[in-house]
Homo-oligomer: A and B are copies of this chain.
Amino acid sequence: MPKQPATIYDIAELLGLSASTVSRALNKPGRVNAVTQHRIEEAARELGYRVNTAARSIKTGRREMLGVLAPDVTYTVFQDVLRGAEQAADERGYLVLVGETSQSSAREEDWLARVQTAVDGVVLTSPRADDASVADLAERMPVVLVNRRVDGVPSVVPDVEPGLRAAVARLWELGHRRLLYLSGPQRLWMSRHRHELLDRLCRERGIEVRATASGSGSFERGAEAADEVLASGCTAVVAFNDLIAIGVLKELEARGVRVPDQVSIVGFDNIRGSDYTSPPLATIGAPLQQVGAAAVRELLAAVDGVAPSPPSAAAGRRRTRPEELPTVFHDRGSLGPAPG
């Protein structure tokens, strides 16, 4: 049923031209007689011609596709990154391959291996692979990291500080002096990063910070943490992400503990749904679409740098200055004065 798609030869034959002329006309218009050009375009439309990208790739070495790796398409953070990436890619005529690795490093490795030959580069959002593997991969193909840093590999990470600083200031103002950080997965660079920064910012003000042992980044994890929260004697909680935050919030509500009267809660990511709760969840969000777009632009710059132009000293291993992608604090109802 799907009849063979037309090739440049079909067009050439139809018009009594040679394939190379057709190719030229279709690729670099201007290098061919105006009327011929027109006839070719006409014929191409007529025949429903589409360039065979595989055949082109084999010659040019360019795949015009790039990969985006996501541990979990289901987590809202990734969606915005993907959307931003998709749009930036589209602007440059690139197609996007997505790899959902479901938190499994085996699948991640697998996908990476398979996709390698099909794309010009990859964006890795919170990959599970260890630093060495990531650096290794970056040796073999253009790679840009999102929400993670690895030495020598370009990365795009929003600047956590402004949003978190605002949140801490607000907590201070409300009288909170003891905070509990609900850690995410230990292997997640971003969880450690947020923790460190929270520590630093609180130290500046003399706020005490404790932290739970690391756990998953899920709603259930948050619910489980309710006991720890109550036992900790802390008046406010900063969760690694909104899922955890909402988990505690709902569990505390279920136990009759009033938020924010007895405990204040702040999350991270400003996921869709974080303002559906009662009270709405205060959270620190990042411009994730821009993050995704920036990552792709950086990736494509690297891709461009690889082949054409003077093989200059090369754009080389730059990282987007985070100042350009600041997080924002969303002050919402889950924050209130410290009790007592």
Contact = CB atoms under 8 A, between A and B. Distances in A.
A336 interface: no
A95 interface: yes
Contacts of A48: 140
Copies of this subunit: 2
Interface residues of A, number: 54
Interface in A90-117: 90, 93, 95-100, 102, 107, 111, 113-117
A58 to B, nearest CB: 5
A32 interface: no
A170 interface: no
Given A54-B58, A58-B55, A83-B100, A139 B273 contact: no
Nearest to A49: B117
A216 interface: no
A53 B117 contact: yes
A98 B86 contact: yes
Given A141-B2, A276-B246, A114 B98 contact: no
A18 interface: no
Interface of A: 1-2, 5, 48, 50-55, 57-58, 63, 65, 73-74, 76, 79-80, 82-83, 86-87, 90, 93, 95-100, 102, 107, 111, 113-118, 139-142, 246, 250, 253, 271-273, 276-278, 306
Q: Top 7 A-B pairs ranked by shortest CB distance? A: A273-B273, A54-B57, A278-B278, A86-B100, A50-B117, A54-B54, A54-B58
Given A73-B79, A273-B273, A277-B277, 7 more contacts: A52-B58, A54-B58, A73-B83, A86-B98, A90-B111, A95-B99, A96-B99
Contact of A74 (B65, B80, B113): B80
A103 to B, nearest CB: 12
Contact of A277 (B5, B52, B54, B276): B276
Contacts of A86: 73, 98-100
